[in-house]
Structure formats: C-alpha cells, structure tokens
C-alpha cells in the first residue's frame, strides 16, 4: 500500500515538473517571437546602421594668421572689435577717431587689388581691349578656384570690374600681366606708386593679394583709400552690387564681396575686401557716417562676418555723438597699440 502511494506521488511530481517545463518553453518561444516582431518594426536602415563601425574624423586646426602669431588678438579695445588692427579717420579733417595697432605691418590679401585698380585706371589704357585668361593667371600658390577658365576673353574694363567688385584673382592677375612691359614692370610700378603716396610700410610682389608677402599697415591703407576714393572709376566699380559677363555661350553673374554696399543704411563711396589665411578677414572703406566722410580700415578679423560687424560697431559709435560733438569723438586705443612687423 505504501509503495502504491509512493508511486502515485512520484508520478504527480514528475507530471508537475513536465508541465512547468512545457510552460517555460512556451514562454521562451513567445519571448523570442516578440523580439522578432520588435526587430521587424525597426527600419532596415537603422538595423544596418547599428552594425556600422564608428568612424572618427580628425579635425585639422586652422592655421593662425600673422596677427595671431604676433599676439595682436590678445589686447582689447573700447569698441570690442574682432579685428586685431583697425583705423578710423575723418577724411576731411584727417582727425583719427579710432586706432588699434594701426602701425602693425601684416599681409593684406585682396586689399592689394585696390592698388592694382588704381594703376590700371591711371594708365588710361583702352578699357575695351580684349584680354585672354592664360595658364599664367591660374593660382598655383593657394590653389584658389575661378569661373574664368583658361581661354576666356574679356575686355580690360570687365576684368577691372570683376577684380574690384568680386575680388576675381585671375582677372587681377591678367590686368597686371597684360600691362605694357609685363608683370615685373607692373609690380615695380605698384611699389613705386606706394612710395609716391608715402606708404612706407607697404610692399607688393604680385597684383592679386594671394601672396602673404603683399603687406601693409592700416595707416598706409588709409592713405591709399583716401587717394583712391578720388578716382570715379574705382568708386563706381568697387561699390557695384552686381555684374554680368558673357563667357562663350554662358552669362556669369558676379556679386559684390561686401554685403554693406546693398545696405540702404550705408553710404559707401569706395570699398575692398580681402582674405587669405595669413591675413585673416580684411575690409577697407570710404563711407559717409553722421555727416562725416570716414575712412575705415579693418585687418586680421576673426571671421567673414565679424569684419562687417566691426564696421557696424564703428558706425553706431560715431552716430552716438551729437552733431556738434562729432569733431571731438574721443580716441579709442588698445593696450597693444604698437608697431609689429610680421615677416
């Protein structure tokens, strides 16, 4: 009797264990099915992306400008400008309203084209003479691009317009190369003209500004802007908002590199922008602000928009003084207001 009871109990236990095992297996199957359903709900693109290895891209730091290497960005000024070099002068009275490291000699990038344009305008060469872009005009130093392909034919007047308004490098180089006597003669005249104007800190090695050896100071550039602003051709072409040229069967649209020329709040008579890594962002202008003809020079700015913002800061600052007090706007200096020669 005891054996029967034992057997019956054993069978009951075994049956219970089998039932539990069956339930567990069913639960596992349900869980697996649920996981498959979840995976199916994930888009195929996401499933593939989860398998891709992480790619790390090395960030190459931007090379410093000459102004940064000279420590010119270490000082602060009263207007908190982002340009390490700045100069604002009343064109009529020659009064210096604002100065910041104006004696520092730095690369000037495409501000160079202002002297290029001045020589072409003064030479009274035929503006309708056709000039062909050649391989010699291609930038081999910085590798900059251009929409003027080798073989393009444009008039001297069109090339001058593009050089001053859109800072077209091949246009500027072609102007110097096609000058009577060739490029060496033209570069020599650039330096001679600078000396005649009293620009003792200035030196040029080519007509575009792509070379960092084209250098000057804010003081010298203010002298150049003051003189060049008296040339009607330079005034008109440098402040033109846009220009079209026919290249073969195509018509190319060019725009001014200085957005302020389209701003109705500004009355700009002459302007030129510039940029290469060694020079930073640069801007020179002759503009009427609060009834005064001002010359503004901004060199080695931190960003493309910051040079524009610096000009806006100066404009608001000058406008903040009542008209009778405009003649006594206080000077704003920087703690690094000293001559720095960058070679």
Model confidence pLDDT, tens digit, residues 168-186: 999 999 999 999 999 999 9
Number of compact structural domains in the chain:
1
Determine the Cα–Cα distance for residues 306 and 121; give it in Å rounded to an integer: 31
- Residues of the chain short of pLDDT 50, as ranges, are 1-22, 24, 32, 34-35, 38-40, 42, 334-343
What is the domain extent for residue 78?
A: 66-328
Determine the Cα–Cα distance for residues 88 and 103; give it in Å rounded to an integer: 13
Q: Residue 24 has what pLDDT?
A: 47
Q: Is 215 helix (H, G, I), strand (E, B) or coil?
A: strand
User: Which of the following is catalytic: 113, 212, 272, 315?
Assistant: 113
Q: Residue 51 has what pLDDT?
A: 57
Determine the Cα–Cα distance for residues 117 and 243; give it in Å rounded to an integer: 17
User: Which of the following is catalytic: 84, 110, 212, 229?
Assistant: 110
Q: Residue 39 has what pLDDT?
A: 43
Determine the Cα–Cα distance for residues 285 and 256; give it in Å rounded to an integer: 13
Determine the Cα–Cα distance for residues 301 and 195; give it in Å rounded to an integer: 27
Q: Residue 67 has what pLDDT?
A: 96
Determine the Cα–Cα distance for residues 333 and 87; give it in Å rounded to an integer: 10
Q: What's the distance, Cα to Cα, between the start and end of the chain in Å?
A: 114
Q: Is residue 102 part of a domain?
A: yes
Q: Is residue 12 part of a domain?
A: no
Q: Is residue 220 part of a domain?
A: yes
Q: Is residue 125 part of a domain?
A: yes
Q: Is residue 19 part of a domain?
A: no
User: Which of the following is catalytic: 83, 166, 167, 229?
Assistant: 167
Q: Is residue 173 part of a domain?
A: yes
CATH, residue 287 = 3.40.710.10
Q: Is residue 335 part of a domain?
A: no
User: Is residue 144 annotated as part of the catalytic site, yes or no?
Assistant: no
Instruction: Note the pLDDT tens digit of each residue in 219-276.
Output: 999 999 999 999 999 999 999 999 999 998 899 999 999 999 999 999 999 999 999 9
User: Is residue 121 annotated as part of the catalytic site, yes or no?
Assistant: no
Q: Residue 303 has what pLDDT?
A: 78
Q: Residue 40 has what pLDDT?
A: 47
Of residues 5, 85, 94, the one with CA closest to residue 300: 85
Q: Is residue 59 part of a domain?
A: no
């Amino acid at each position: 009797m005891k054996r029967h009871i034992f057997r019956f109990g054993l069978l009951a236990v075994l049956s219970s264990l089998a039932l539990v095992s069956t339930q567990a297996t069913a639960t596992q199957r349900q869980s697996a099915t649920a996981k498959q359903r979840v995976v199916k709900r994930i888009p195929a693109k996401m499933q593939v992306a989860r398998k891709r290895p992480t790619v790390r891209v090395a960030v190459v730091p931007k090379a410093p400008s000459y102004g940064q290497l000279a420590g010119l960005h270490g000082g602060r000024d009263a207007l908190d400008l982002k340009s390490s070099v700045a100069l604002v002068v009343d064109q009529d009275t020659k009064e210096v309203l604002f100065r910041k490291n104006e004696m520092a000699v730095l690369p000037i990038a495409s501000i160079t084209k202002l002297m290029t344009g001045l020589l072409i305008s003064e030479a009274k060469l035929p503006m309708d003479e056709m000039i062909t872009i050649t391989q010699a005009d291609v930038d081999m130093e910085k590798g900059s691009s251009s929409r003027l392909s080798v073989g393009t034919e444009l008039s001297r007047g069109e090339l001058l317009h593009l050089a001053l308004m859109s800072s077209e490098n091949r246009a500027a180089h072609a102007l110097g190369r096609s000058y009577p006597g060739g490029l060496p003669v033209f570069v020599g005249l650039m330096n001679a003209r600078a000396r005649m104007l009293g620009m003792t800190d200035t030196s040029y090695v080519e007509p575009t500004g792509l070379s960092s050896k084209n250098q000057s100071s804010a003081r010298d550039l203010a002298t150049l802007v003051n003189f060049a602003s008296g040339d009607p051709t330079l005034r008109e072409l440098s402040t033109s908002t846009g220009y079209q040229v026919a290249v073969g069967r195509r018509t190319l649209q060019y725009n001014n590199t200085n957005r302020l020329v389209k701003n109705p709040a500004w009355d700009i008579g002459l302007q030129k922008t510039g940029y290469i890594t060694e020079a930073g962002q640069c801007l020179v202008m002759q503009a009427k602000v609060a009834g005064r003809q001002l010359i503004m020079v901004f060199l080695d700015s931190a960003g493309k928009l910051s040079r524009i913002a610096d000009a806006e800061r100066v404009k608001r600052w000058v406008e903040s003084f009542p008209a009778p007090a405009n003649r006594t706007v206080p000077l704003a200096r920087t703690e690094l207001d000293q001559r720095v020669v960058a070679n």
